[in-house]
């Protein structure tokens, strides 16, 4: 991570801390706990195994959804984006499916896949799937026909076309979609973990709220936010590593 990026993060955290502290003085510690109190409670919670059970559950659900959506959406997006006939055939289905808020399908998904981890992962994967699919397809569409003709003139086959042309061109869009999808998935993760479960940071936050332990509640909120930030930065680093050609 560059020094400038680190400086921006430090400045942002400092600004949030000051703003949080001022608001806690204005609103009162019962409504908005002092940030120092929250951080101290965070250290106390981090020393318990129960807290890490919640962190592990949320992280695994999010990772499983991301991996599942990636495996399913990216190959389909690459194929549709590089095949105009198939794209025209499946476009109506995509355009009808994408605008539907996937969260409204939660009762159906829970009936089909159960209230456990499987149902929660399927719902998260559905949300990420459509974002990845559309971004990957649109990225593959941008390939110039002259590049295809050049590859064929060099003796390249269909596999070479996907490996050396479609895949590299689509990668930046895929990583962008993963970053956006992670933010959406974290928000939905909080919601689904507040239903029919006793593990996960969503449950941890709701449970603390119900017991009026607001400092503990904010520990859960910050922890869930950190998971999202870490995922975001991982995809940012992967893009820099595998898309170095963008800076050429």
Mean pLDDT (whole number) for 27-41: 82
CA 60 vs. chain centroid, Å, equals: 12
Question: What are the boundaries of each domain within the chain?
Answer: 1-32, 33-247
pLDDT for residue 100 is more than 90: no
- Mean pLDDT, the chain, integer: 84
| pLDDT value at residue 1 | 54
Q: What is the pLDDT of residue 64?
A: 94
Tell me which CATH code domain 33-247 carries.
Answer: 1.10.3720.10
Q: How confident is the model at residue 59 (pLDDT cuts 50, 70, 90)?
A: very high
Q: In whole angstroms, give the CA distance from residue 232 to residue 180.
A: 8
pLDDT surpassing 80 at residue 29: no
Which pLDDT score, from 0 to 100, does residue 2 have? 64
Cβ 102 vs Cβ 123: under 8 Å? yes
List, in order, residues 6 or more apart from 30 with CB less than 8 Å away.
Answer: 214
Is the pLDDT score of 170 beyond 90? no
Mean pLDDT within 41-47? 90
Q: What is the pTM of this model?
A: 0.84
Q: In terms of Cα–Cα distance, which of 239, 122, 228, 79 is closest to 174? A: 239
Q: What pLDDT digit, counting tens, does each position of 122-143 carry? A: 999 998 898 899 888 888 887 7
Buried b (16+ CB within 10 A) or exposed e, 156-185: eeeeebbeebbbebbbbbbbbbbbbbbeeb
pLDDT digits 0-9 by tens, 172-202: 888 888 888 888 888 888 888 888 788 899 9
**Token couple for 231:** 């995922």
pLDDT at 145 over 70: no
d(CA 107, CA 103): 9
- How far apart are alpha carbons 12 and 9 in whole angstroms? 5
pLDDT value, residue 56 = 93
* Helix/strand/coil for 52: helix
């Amino acid at each position: 991570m560059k020094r400038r990026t680190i400086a921006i993060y430090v400045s942002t955290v400092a600004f949030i801390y000051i703003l949080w502290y001022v608001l806690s003085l204005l609103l009162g510690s019962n409504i908005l706990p002092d940030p120092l109190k929250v951080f101290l409670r965070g250290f106390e919670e981090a020393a318990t195994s129960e807290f890490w059970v919640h962190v592990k559950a949320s992280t695994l659900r999010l990772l499983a959804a991301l991996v599942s959506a990636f495996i399913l959406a990216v190959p389909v997006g690459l194929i549709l984006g590089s095949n105009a006939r198939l794209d025209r055939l499946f476009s109506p289905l995509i355009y009808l499916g994408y605008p539907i808020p996937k969260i409204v399908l939660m009762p159906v998904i829970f009936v089909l896949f159960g209230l456990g981890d499987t149902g929660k992962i399927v719902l998260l994967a559905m949300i990420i799937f459509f974002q990845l699919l559309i971004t990957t397809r649109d990225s593959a569409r941008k390939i110039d026909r002259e590049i295809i003709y050049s590859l064929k003139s060099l003796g390249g086959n269909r596999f070479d076309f996907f490996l050396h042309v479609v895949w590299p061109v689509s990668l930046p869009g895929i990583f962008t979609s993963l970053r956006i999808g992670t933010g959406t998935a974290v928000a939905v993760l909080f919601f689904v973990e507040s239903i029919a479960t006793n593990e996960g940071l969503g449950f941890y936050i709701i449970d603390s709220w119900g017991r009026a332990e607001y400092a503990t509640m904010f520990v859960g909120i910050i922890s869930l936010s950190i998971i999202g930030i870490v995922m975001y930065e991982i995809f940012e680093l992967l893009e820099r590593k595998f898309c170095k050609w963008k800076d050429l």
